[in-house]
Amino acid sequence: LERDNLFRKGHNIHVSGKNIPSPLGDFSELSSSYGCKAKLLRNLAELGFKEPTPIQRQAIPVLLSGRECFACAPTGSGKTLAFVCPILMKLKRASKDSIRAVILCPTRELATQTTRECKKFAEGCKFRIKLMSKQLVKGADLSKFSCDILISTPLRLKLAIRKKKLDLSRVEYLVLDESDKLFELGLLKQIDAVVKACSNPSIVRSLFSATLPDFVEELARTIMHDAVRVIIGRKNT
Ligand code: ADP
Ligand code: MG
């Protein structure tokens, strides 16, 4: 435990919460300690990722341990992989049964970019990673729609739930990315509709952000239970 704390200090990782899993020393621990498939690790190596970034070192083991998490780390510090990697590992293999994970992004541009990143990490793994596009929302009934990871803005997802019967009741992972922006943009109602539609009692929610204003943290606490808080550097810079 003392060793974990020293390691965190060295990487500017600040945590709070109960029983926080040890930070990752290396990506190889994903396979030795968490059974990560070789293909995923190979993808990271091929992308030139040699070492996990500080947010990845701590948020990945937290999510792999099934804990909810709210995380704050600067822009460009690798938050996407910090939530996509544990989701891909936990989902294990592709399945057509339901929508299994949802990532909410504040804008279409960010949703598109996140979809692209996810696909890079999952290259060659058969996972179906889908962007909630305009065509999808405009099209037919979505009650049978399934994919492994669905990425969307809150508005499009809310429309798909309300108007096209999109079923989120079996979602296992919900990520609110850039949550400071999500909340600032007045998207609370839409986010609330999505959070409610993700009614699986064993869902693991997480929130990632570049800043963590008090009001975001307060909102986060209303939707998460027993969450681990991970801050890299300082909270609002
Ligand atoms: P954030 O969401 O924190 O702003 P991103 O997830 O968009 O950051 O990552 C920023 C850039 O860093 C991306 O180009 C990504 O591919 C790259 N990156 C992520 N993790 C690593 C890593 N461990 N090593 C090297 N580059 C990384
Ligand atoms: Mg990001």
Q: Which pTM was predicted?
A: 0.96
Percent of the chain with pLDDT strictly greater than 70: 99
Tens-digit pLDDT profile for residues 60-96: 999 999 999 999 999 999 999 999 999 999 999 999 8
Closest ligand to Cα 121 = 1
CA of 158 to the centre of ligand 1 (A): 29
User: What Å distances lie between residue 214 and 183, 218, 219, 221, CA to CA?
Assistant: 12, 6, 9, 11
Kindly state if the Cβ of 186 falls inside 6 Å of ligand 1.
no
Weakest-pLDDT range from 1-10, 144-153, 210-219: 210-219
CA 165 to chain centre: 24
Kindly state if the Cβ of 52 falls inside 6 Å of ligand 1.
yes
Closest ligand to Cα 106 = 2
**What is the model's pLDDT at position 205?**
96
**What is the model's pLDDT at position 183?**
84
Task: Order across the sheet with 129-131: list the strands.
Answer: 13-16, 228-232, 69-72, 204-209, 173-176, 99-104, 147-152, 129-131
**What is the model's pLDDT at position 237?**
52
Q: Is the pLDDT of residue 182 over 60?
A: yes
Q: What is the average pLDDT score of the chain?
A: 94
Kindly state if the Cβ of 114 falls inside 6 Å of ligand 1.
no
Q: Mean pLDDT throughout 107-132?
A: 96
Quick one: 118 exposed, middle or buried, by C-beta within 10 A (0-12, 13-18, 19+)? buried
| Measured distance CA(221)–CA(229) in Å, rounded | 10
Tell me whether 0.90 is exceeded by the ipTM: yes
Kindly state if the Cβ of 49 falls inside 6 Å of ligand 1.
yes
Q: Is the pLDDT of residue 45 over 90?
A: yes
pLDDT bucket at 235, cuts 50 / 70 / 90:
low
